Structure 1
Amino acid sequence: MRLHSTHAELEGRRILVTGGSKGTGRATVRHFLDAGARVMTAARHRPEDHVGADFVVADLTSPEGARALADAAMERLSGVDVLVHVLGGSTAPGGGFAALTEEHWRAELDLNLMPAVRLDRLLLPQMIARGAGTVIHVASIQRRLPLHDSTTAYAAAKAALTTYSKALSKEVGPKGVRVNVVSPGWIYTEAADALVQRLASSSGGTPEAARQGILEALGGIPLGRPARPEDVAELVAFLASDRASAIHGAEYVIDGGTIPTV
């Protein structure tokens, strides 16, 4: 059997990537574009350089934003072959459970869980009708290794996303749609730097102390460095390709060895 390159398998695919304006999402968009795919992405504000993807201005934390993006994908791409949910992050303060208000919890769920739920509900029917499609949800190792001082609500939302993904895979797999999860560890992006700054501010310490505190809470990274956004994009592209045609209902951890157990 002759093997084809991942790039060749992605050429011409209609791919929707959420959170594609920066960080891991941006790296994922670039990777798909380089492979010749037709790519759409969205964010609340149009960046000065959106790397050539079809861009939609939408707030995906709201039902209306999800609907606007889904409608644009159906209109401009005539459907979606691959749906990649990268959108996520945390704006909650440090300080443990007592520092988290009702509004903090709602914001974390609205950012890290509900956009995927809503867009899946809107776009999976056209995949099911064709009997083919791929969905990739980007979660986090925080679902298994939460940092109680800073990421409790975020970790809980990502745990919910992972459980939802497993349930979805059981439902739509027999209908031809593959669903998988990618769970990164610490990726040093703009969002990671914002977390460091937020923790430093809440503790009155320095950014370096906050950064070291995160590493210690994680138990270190045996590989010696955080993952790069491009590392995660490579894994996402593989799971979107035909090379992963038998991979379904799985979670792939990319954390440099951070999680210390099997």
Structure 2
Amino acid sequence: MEGTVKAAAAVRAEVGAPDIVVHTLGGSSSPPGGYAVLDDKYWDAELQLNLLAAVRLDRALLPAMIQNGYGAVVHVSSIQRRMPLHEATLGYAAAKAALTTYSKGLSNEVAASGIRVNVVSPGAIRTAGADHLAERIAVARGISHDEAWQEILASRGGVPLQRAAEPAEVAELVAFLVSDKAAAITGAEFTIDGSTVPTI
């Protein structure tokens, strides 16, 4: 909580009211093993990192944006909100589902004030965090890092595009959503997953 308050204060001191807020923070440090190993400490950590950090940042920055009557917010969720890896990241998936629901409600609340709120939900992305997840699975299962990556992709039924997306590809989507080219888009979720989620 303290970090969010400090970050928001630094933004306000540097630029006043921001025009754009992109919340990308997320991840999981919970052990694999499903619901049985997730005590309240792990649940709290998942909710703090994957939901409440965004809520706090919005609460700190939105008032000035609303006063200006203009702005765009993007929250980064995950396809795991729809396809949870119950063995490895159940708490993370639940927290990201809550973030997506919160984002929809927030978009309805602030739209009349000129603020747009959208969600980007990545699938497999070649990030340091994804590599860390693969490493945790590898250690827990006694398999190689590459085998763990293949299990992650296979657990989703595979990735029809046959590769994970690069971080820059996600950034391009976010850049569009915060631009004036997306001025009529709010309250929407955009999936970037190589067609992993089997439905639209």
Q: Same fold (TM over 0.5)?
A: yes
Task: Find the residue that maps to 1:178 and give its secondary structure.
Answer: strand
Aligned match of 2:172: 234
Alpha-carbon separation, structure 2, partners of 1:190 and 1:208: 14
Alpha-carbon separation, structure 1, partners of 2:26 and 2:105: 20
Residue 97 of structure 1 deviates from its aligned partner by 1.1
Task: Find the residue that maps to 1:260 and give its secondary structure.
Answer: coil
Aligned match of 1:155: 93
Task: Find the residue that maps to 1:183 and give its secondary structure.
Answer: strand
Residue 76 of structure 1 deviates from its aligned partner by 1.1
Aligned pairs, how many?
200
For residues 62-93 of structure 1, what are the alpha-carbon distances to aligned partners after superposition, in whole Å with 9 as ceiling and x for unaligned?
2x211111111111112211000001011111
Aligned match of 1:175: 113
Alpha-carbon separation, structure 2, partners of 1:149 and 1:103: 18
- Name which structure has the greater RCO, CA cutoff 8 Å, separation 6+: 2
User: After the TM superposition, which residues 90-239 of structure 1 pair with which residues of structure 2 at under 5 Å, given as runs?
Assistant: 90-239=28-177
For residues 15-46 of structure 1, what are the alpha-carbon distances to aligned partners after superposition, in whole Å with 9 as ceiling and x for unaligned?
xxxxxxxxxxxxxxxxxxxxxxxxxxxxxxxx
Alpha-carbon separation, structure 1, partners of 2:146 and 2:4: 37
Q: Which aligned segments of 4 or more residues in structure 1 are displaced greater than 3 angstroms?
A: none
Task: Find the residue that maps to 1:218 and give its secondary structure.
Answer: coil
Tell whether the 8 Å contact from 1:93 to 1:199 is kept in structure 2 after alignment. Answer: no
Tell whether the 8 Å contact from 1:82 to 1:134 is kept in structure 2 after alignment. Answer: yes
Residue 175 of structure 1 deviates from its aligned partner by 1.0
**How high is the TM-score relative to the length of structure 2?**
0.97
Amino acid in the other structure paired with 2:6:
A
Greater shift in the superposed pair: 208-217 or 221-230: 208-217
Task: Find the residue that maps to 1:113 and give its secondary structure.
Answer: helix
Which has more helix, going by share of residues?
Answer: 2
Alpha-carbon separation, structure 2, partners of 1:152 and 1:198: 15
Aligned match of 1:6: none
For residues 81-132 of structure 1, what are the alpha-carbon distances to aligned partners after superposition, in whole Å with 9 as ceiling and x for unaligned?
1000001011111111112121111111111111110010111011111111
Structure 1 residues without counterparts, runs of 5 or longer: 1-61
Alpha-carbon separation, structure 1, partners of 2:149 and 2:118: 30
Alpha-carbon separation, structure 1, partners of 2:184 and 2:44: 36
